[in-house]
Amino acid sequence: MTLKNRIHQPQGDPFMTISKTPAPATLGSQYLQSLLAVSLTLLLSAWPMLPIQAQNALSFNGSTLKPTTAPQAPGFKVDLVGVNLWFTDTGGTPGQDVLMLLHPNTGSSEVWAMQSAVFAKAGYRVIAFDRRGWGKSFAKTPSDNGQSSIAQDLEALVEHLKIDRFHLLGIAGGGFAAIDYAAWKPERIKSLIVGGSTAQLSEPTMKEVVDRIEIPGIRKLPAYFREVGPSYRARDPEGTKAWVEIEERSQQSGTKAQALRTPNTFAKIATIKTPTLVIAGGADLLAPPALMQLWVKYLDHPQWVLLPEAGHALSWEEPERFDQAVIDFLKTH
């Protein structure tokens, strides 16, 4: 990444780089750059582990807050078309900015406990919901299983809550839906944040690249092995165990995945003019930075954050850096 493109480097934190747009480079050189960054951070991880672990914990109401200890926000169930939808809501005051969180395929609203607490403390009303068939959201009938789209369920929820405009954050599979919704309802979105996501694009170019770089048989591996980065698994076995427990109970038996409202394409992404932040993990095996940049370049002047040591579960693995990047971005929008 060239110096002229870098707009912010947190003091004392060499592990996070933020830029206005991804630096222009070839796919091969970007992927090599990511691998070199991971190698460097793995070398640095030979230093004493306590400071690194401490960076993944925040002070909250006088106590240490981590993904494994964060309290869940109050939960509610609402009767919507085709689904009894479960959501958590930190609450707020009239006129307060709302931040909506969309969970990944491997997880539920439970993965957002720490972010909900931190973002609420930063002044936002934070809402996260279980998509139908995940967590505590149940399709009403067998015919409702996998019907509609996450974007349409999100719209039904904000209509029910009488929310006019809000910030939208989705990671991994939640990023697919965030892009789908942002292109459909731009008047609703104050800002868009997507982390660790391929965007589920229906583009031959993307499919060709995925076929070229994906490790053979990776989809058959245990979810934690393909999605949680090796650095995090090495330094935080307790956190890894908690992630696995959430993942194992997240998707209900027999659940069908909801399709996008309309296919995500490069042309569709180009219509999104909402201020956008994209966060990538340098150790992400499913959505490496070079792959993400193939679709990010179609956005209108996005900001780009690289967490070199993070895997696909980047908000869980690097919560302090992830949360700070989000808060810094939200303050300007």
Instruction: Determine the pLDDT at residue 65.
Output: 65
Q: Rounded CA gap, 238 and 131, in Å?
A: 26
Q: What's the rounded mean pLDDT across residues 266-292?
A: 97
pLDDT digits (tens, 9 = 90+) for 85-102: 999 999 989 899 999 999
Sign of CA dihedral 211, 172, 291, 265: positive
Number of domains in the chain: 1
Instruction: Determine the pLDDT at residue 64.
Output: 54
Instruction: Determine the pLDDT at residue 161.
Output: 97
Question: Which CATH number do you get for residue 71?
Answer: 3.40.50.1820
Cβ–Cβ under 8 Å, residues 147 and 181: no
pLDDT digits (tens, 9 = 90+) for 198-247: 999 989 999 999 899 889 999 899 999 999 999 999 999 999 999 999 99
Q: Which of 27-41, 131-145, 295-309 has the lowest mean pLDDT?
A: 27-41
User: Nearest CA to 74 among 119, 128, 111?
Assistant: 128
Question: To the nearest whole percent, how much of the chain has pLDDT over 90?
Answer: 74
Cβ–Cβ under 8 Å, residues 144 and 83: yes
Q: Is the pLDDT of residue 155 over 60?
A: yes
Whole-number Cα distances in Å, 252 to 21, 129, 148, 305: 38, 15, 17, 33
pLDDT digits (tens, 9 = 90+) for 305-317: 999 999 999 999 9
Determine the structural domain holding residue 287 and report its residue range.
3-331
Instruction: Determine the pLDDT at residue 107.
Output: 96
Q: Is the pLDDT of residue 68 over 60?
A: yes
Higher pLDDT, 46 or 325: 325
